[in-house]
Chains A and B, each alone.
Chain A
Amino acid sequence: MEKFKDQSTLHLFEKGLITENQFEEVKTYRSLKIFSLNAELKLFLYLSVLLFTSGIGILIYENIDTIGHIAILSLLLIVIAVCFFYCFKHSKGFQKSETTFEHPVLEYLVLTGNILTCIFIGYLQFQYKPFGEHYGLATLVPTIVSFFCAYYFDNRSVLTIAITGLAAYVGLSVTPQDIFNDSNNLYASQSLSYSAVMLGVLLVLWTIYSQRISLKAHFGLVFLTFALHIVSIATISNLTGYETLTWILFALILAGSTYYFYKASYQYKAMSLYVFMIVYAYIGGNIVLFRIFENVDFSDIWELLIFLLPAYFIGSIIMFIKLIKNFHKEIAE
C-alpha cells in the first residue's frame, strides 16, 4: 500500500496540484513510518468499561440476596468515588465550549463512574425504596446525574445515556434496538406517541437554545439525532391508524419535522441527519399516498400499476441523486 500512497502524492506533485514544500513535508512525515494504535487502544479502554460494568451489573443482580447489601453498596460507592475523584482532579472544570482531558483514560473513567452511579441508584431503589413508589423519580435522578456528568466532563457517551433516561421518564424506550423494533408499541398507544413528539420538540428547542447561548454547541447533533428518530418513528407508526383525523395530523407533524430537519442538516452539515430525514420522509410519503388511494378500486388496471412501478422507482432514484448532490455542493462551501 505504501508504495501506491507515495506514488499518488508524487502524481499530485507532478501535476502541479501541490507545492514542493507540501510534497516534502508529506514525504518526511511518511518516512516516520507511523503506525498509530490510537483507535485500537481507545476501543480497548471502551470495551473494558463495557465488560466491567456489565460484569458488576450481573454480579449484583445474581447475588442480590446473598452478599450483604451494605457491603455491595459501600463497595460500589468506593469505586464510584475513586472514579470521580480522578475525574474531578484532572478536569479543567466546567466550560461552555468543547473540552477534552489530557489523558484519554479519564474519559472512560467518567463513563464507568456514571454507569456505576446508575446501577447504585437502581440498586438502592430496589432494596431500600428511598423514592417510595415514585418510580419515575428513580429514573429521573440517574438522568440528572448523567446530564450533569455529560455537561461537566463533556462526554458524548454519557449524554446518550442521559437522553435515554429522559425518554424513559416520559415512558419511551429509545435504545436503538427498541426504537426500531417498536417495542414501545406506539401504534397501540396514541398518548405515548404524543409524548414522543413532545419529547422530540423539547430536544429540538433545547438544541436551539443552547446553540444561541453557545453552551456545548457540539452536543447539538446528538440531541437532533435522537429527536429526528423519535419524532419520525412515532409519526410513521401512527400513519396507519384508523381515524382519518389522526393520521392526517401525524402526516402534518411528519411534514413539519421533515422541513425542520432538512434545514437543520444543512446547518450542521450532517449527512446522517439528512439521509435519515429523507428516508423517513420517503416512507411517510408513500404511506400517505397509499392511504389517499386506498378507497379507489384499482382491480381493473393493476397490471398497469405493476408496469408503472419501475418508472416510479427510477423517478425516486433520480430525485434522491439530485438531493444528495445538492447537499454535497452546499456543505462543500
Chain B
Amino acid sequence: MIVYNKQLLDNEVLTDEADALYKGGFISKEQKKFIEKELPVLKSQKNILVRIGFFLLGCLLFGSICGAISLFGLSAENTFFKICFYIFAVVGFAGVELLANQEYHNHGLDDAFILNALLCLGAAIGITTEGYEMVIAFFVAVGALFIFLRYLHVISMLVFCLSATAFLFFGMFEFGDIGKAILPFTAMIFAGVFYFLTKKMLNRLNERYYYNGLLLANSFCLVLFYLSCNYLVVRELSAELLGPEVKPGIDIPFAYFFYAFTFIVPVLYLVQALKTKDRLMLWISFLAIGFSIYTIRFYHSVLPIEVALTLGGIVLFGIAYFSIRILKEKESGLTFKPDRINHSDSLLNAEALVVASTFGMKPEVKPQASPMEFGGGGFSGGGSDGSF
C-alpha cells in the first residue's frame, strides 16, 4: 500500500536518529555526515519555512494548471462547471502520485497537491449532491484515509479525523432534535472508544511507518473528548442548533455534569501525562486548562480583566518558580534539565517574536490628534487579551 521505497523510509528514521544523537552530543559531526552520506533518503524538507514556501508555490502551480484546463471548458459553461472539480481532483491525485514516484515526501509540493486534491474532491461531491454535507464528509474522509495509507501524509490524517467527526455530527443531525440533543454524549463516547482503539493499535504496531499518523489520531480523540462536553462548547452549540433556549436564571440540562467535566478532564489529562511521561498529552492538558479558565470567564466575570491578568501572572510565576526549584537538581525522571535527545525548545525560539508583537513600541500618531497615544497605545497589550 505504501508507495515509497521502504528502505528509504527506514533510512529516514535512522538519519533522524543520527541527527538527534548529534544534537545530544553523543556522536561527532563527521560521523553524522558520514551516516547521512551512507543512507540515501527521500526528498523532504525539515525546515517549516521552506516547506510552507514550497506549499505556496505548489498551490500556485496547481491553480495555474487548473486555469489552463478551464480554458478548454469555457465554451461548454454549465456542463463544464458540473464536472470541473472532478477533473481538478484527478489532476491533484495524479500530481501526488507523480511527486511520490519522484520520491517527494513531506516536501511542501506534495502537501499542496494533496490538500488541493482533497479540497477539490469535496467541492466536486458538493456540487453533484447540491451540498449534502454528510456525503461530502464521507467522501473526503475516505480520500484522506487513502492518501494517509498510501503516501504516509500526516496532515491528511488530520483531515480524515476532522471529516470523520463532521460525518458523525451531520449523521446525528439526521435524527432531528433528539440527535442534536444527545450529540455531546455521542461525540464523547465516540472519542473515548477511538482513543482506546488507537492506543491499542499504537502499542501493537510493529513497523513505524504509520506511527505518527496514529499518534495524531490518538491526540485528536483526546481533544475531541474534552471539547465534546466542555460547558462553553455544549451551551453555544445547543444555542446554535436548538435555538436560544437558555433564559436568564435557567441553565442548560445537566449543567453540573458539564461544569464538572470541564474541570476534571484537564486535571485528569495533566496527571496522566505526568505519570506516563506523554508530552503531547501534557500540552493538550495545558491548552485544556487554559480553555476551561476561558469558559468560566466567558459566563461569570469573577474578576475584572486587568486584576485577573495580573493575579494570573503572579500565580503562574509562582507555580513555575517552585516547580523549577523542586525539579532543578533531579538527574532522572521528571526534571528541569534539558533533555539531550528530545529537544522541545523550538517553541522558545518564537519567544522574541511574541514579545515584539505584544509589547513592541509604536510611533505616536500626530501629537495634536491624540496627545495620549503613547503610554496607552504602545503598552496596553490590549490586543493580546482575547487569547488569554
User: Is the C-beta of B380 less than 8 angstroms from some C-beta in chain A?
Assistant: yes
A144 to chain B, nearest CB (A): 12
User: Is the C-beta of A142 less than 8 angstroms from some C-beta in chain B?
Assistant: yes
Residues on the A chain within 8 Å of B331, using CB? 32
Q: How many A-B residue pairs have CB under 8 A?
A: 312
Contact of B313 among A52, A143, A164, A167 (CB under 8 A): A52
Question: A4 touching B376 by the CB < 8 A rule?
Answer: no
User: Is the C-beta of A201 less than 8 angstroms from some C-beta in chain B?
Assistant: no
User: Is the C-beta of B35 less than 8 angstroms from some C-beta in chain A?
Assistant: yes
Residues on the A chain within 8 Å of B342, using CB? 36
User: Is the C-beta of B182 less than 8 angstroms from some C-beta in chain A?
Assistant: no
- Take A160-B360, A324-B50 as given contacts and tell me if A36 and B367 are in contact as well, using a CB distance cutoff of 8 Å: no
Question: A161 touching B333 by the CB < 8 A rule?
Answer: no
Given the complex of chains A and B, what is the CA–CA distance between A173 and B100 in angstroms? 44
Question: A29 touching B341 by the CB < 8 A rule?
Answer: yes
Interface residues of A in 10-31 (CB under 8 A from B): 11-12, 15, 17-18, 22, 25-26, 29-30
User: Is the C-beta of B146 less than 8 angstroms from some C-beta in chain A?
Assistant: no
User: Is the C-beta of A119 less than 8 angstroms from some C-beta in chain B?
Assistant: yes
Given the complex of chains A and B, what is the CA–CA distance between A199 and B283 in angstroms? 40
Given the complex of chains A and B, what is the CA–CA distance between A177 and B354 in angstroms? 10
User: Is the C-beta of B309 less than 8 angstroms from some C-beta in chain A?
Assistant: yes
Q: Looking across the interface, which residue of chain A has its beta carbon closest to that of B376? A: A61
User: Is the C-beta of A292 less than 8 angstroms from some C-beta in chain B?
Assistant: no
User: Is the C-beta of A33 less than 8 angstroms from some C-beta in chain B?
Assistant: yes
User: Is the C-beta of A266 less than 8 angstroms from some C-beta in chain B?
Assistant: no
Contact of B310 among A17, A59, A142 (CB under 8 A): A59
User: Is the C-beta of B316 less than 8 angstroms from some C-beta in chain A?
Assistant: yes
Question: B309 touching A105 by the CB < 8 A rule?
Answer: no
Q: Scoring B residues 302 to 342 as 1 if CB is less than 8 Å from chain A, else 0, what string do you get?
A: 00011111111111110111011001000111111111111
Question: A105 touching B321 by the CB < 8 A rule?
Answer: yes
Interface residues of A in 103-146 (CB under 8 A from B): 104-105, 111, 115, 118-119, 122-123, 125-126, 133, 135, 138-139, 142-143
Q: Scoring A residues 144 to 173 as 1 if CB is less than 8 Å from chain B, else 0, what string do you get?
A: 000000000000111111011101111111
A147 to chain B, nearest CB (A): 12
B88 to chain A, nearest CB (A): 13
User: Is the C-beta of A314 less than 8 angstroms from some C-beta in chain B?
Assistant: yes
Question: B211 touching A61 by the CB < 8 A rule?
Answer: no
- Take A17-B38, A222-B352, A317-B109 as given contacts and tell me if A307 and B71 are in contact as well, using a CB distance cutoff of 8 Å: yes
Q: Looking across the interface, which residue of chain A has its beta carbon closest to that of B374? A: A122
Question: B352 touching A104 by the CB < 8 A rule?
Answer: no
User: Is the C-beta of A220 less than 8 angstroms from some C-beta in chain B?
Assistant: no
User: Is the C-beta of A306 less than 8 angstroms from some C-beta in chain B?
Assistant: yes
Given the complex of chains A and B, what is the CA–CA distance between A312 and B67 in angstroms? 13
Question: A32 touching B354 by the CB < 8 A rule?
Answer: no
Question: A45 touching B317 by the CB < 8 A rule?
Answer: yes
Q: Looking across the interface, which residue of chain A has its beta carbon closest to that of B342? A: A36
User: Is the C-beta of A56 less than 8 angstroms from some C-beta in chain B?
Assistant: yes
Given the complex of chains A and B, what is the CA–CA distance between A43 and B60 in angstroms? 37
Residues on the A chain within 8 Å of B295, using CB? none
Question: A12 touching B363 by the CB < 8 A rule?
Answer: no
Residues on the B chain within 8 Å of A246, using CB? none
Residues on the A chain within 8 Å of B335, using CB? 34-37
Question: A332 touching B50 by the CB < 8 A rule?
Answer: no
Number of interface residues of A (CB under 8 A): 103
Number of interface residues of B (CB under 8 A): 103
Question: A12 touching B35 by the CB < 8 A rule?
Answer: yes
Residues on the A chain within 8 Å of B355, using CB? 111, 157-158, 160-161
Question: B310 touching A56 by the CB < 8 A rule?
Answer: yes
Question: B359 touching A161 by the CB < 8 A rule?
Answer: yes
Q: Looking across the interface, which residue of chain B has its beta carbon closest to that of A271? A: B47
Q: Which of A92-100, A233-241, A272-280 lies on the face that meets chain B?
A: A272-280
Question: B310 touching A9 by the CB < 8 A rule?
Answer: no
* Chief secondary structure at chain B's binding surface: helix
Question: B354 touching A50 by the CB < 8 A rule?
Answer: yes
B166 to chain A, nearest CB (A): 29
Residues on the B chain within 8 Å of A40, using CB? 282-283, 286, 344
Contact of B361 among A26, A30, A59, A164 (CB under 8 A): A164
- Take A54-B385, A56-B310, A313-B60 as given contacts and tell me if A33 and B333 are in contact as well, using a CB distance cutoff of 8 Å: yes
Contact of A55 among B313, B320, B354, B357 (CB under 8 A): B313
Question: A135 touching B334 by the CB < 8 A rule?
Answer: no
Question: B341 touching A51 by the CB < 8 A rule?
Answer: no
- Take A39-B345, A306-B67 as given contacts and tell me if A51 and B310 are in contact as well, using a CB distance cutoff of 8 Å: yes
Q: Scoring B residues 367 to 388 as 1 if CB is less than 8 Å from chain A, else 0, what string do you get?
A: 1000010111011111111001
Question: A139 touching B64 by the CB < 8 A rule?
Answer: no
Q: Scoring B residues 226 to 242 as 1 if CB is less than 8 Å from chain A, else 0, what string do you get?
A: 00000000000000000
Residues on the A chain within 8 Å of B282, using CB? 40
User: Is the C-beta of B76 less than 8 angstroms from some C-beta in chain A?
Assistant: no
Q: Looking across the interface, which residue of chain A has its beta carbon closest to that of B323? A: A41
Residues on the A chain within 8 Å of B313, using CB? 47-55
Question: B347 touching A43 by the CB < 8 A rule?
Answer: yes
Q: Which of B61, B305, B316, B359 has its CB near the most chain A CB atoms (within 10 A)?
A: B359
Given the complex of chains A and B, what is the CA–CA distance between A161 and B360 in angstroms? 5
Q: Which of B305, B336, B353, B356 has its CB near the most chain A CB atoms (within 10 A)?
A: B356
B387 to chain A, nearest CB (A): 10
Contact of B367 among A9, A42, A58, A135 (CB under 8 A): A135
Residues on the A chain within 8 Å of B268, using CB? none
User: Is the C-beta of B21 less than 8 angstroms from some C-beta in chain A?
Assistant: yes
Contact of A316 among B57, B334, B341 (CB under 8 A): B57
B residues at A contact (CB < 8 Å):
10, 13-14, 16-18, 21, 24, 26-27, 31, 33-35, 38, 45, 47, 49-50, 53-54, 57-58, 60-61, 64-65, 67-68, 71, 109, 208, 211, 215, 277, 279, 282-283, 286, 305-317, 319-321, 323-324, 327, 331-345, 347-348, 351-364, 367, 372, 374-376, 378-385, 388
12 A-B interface contacts by CB (under 8 A): A11-B14, A22-B27, A29-B24, A36-B336, A38-B344, A55-B305, A55-B308, A122-B376, A303-B71, A309-B64, A317-B54, A320-B53
The 4 closest A-B pairs by CB, nearest first: A52-B313, A55-B309, A122-B375, A55-B310
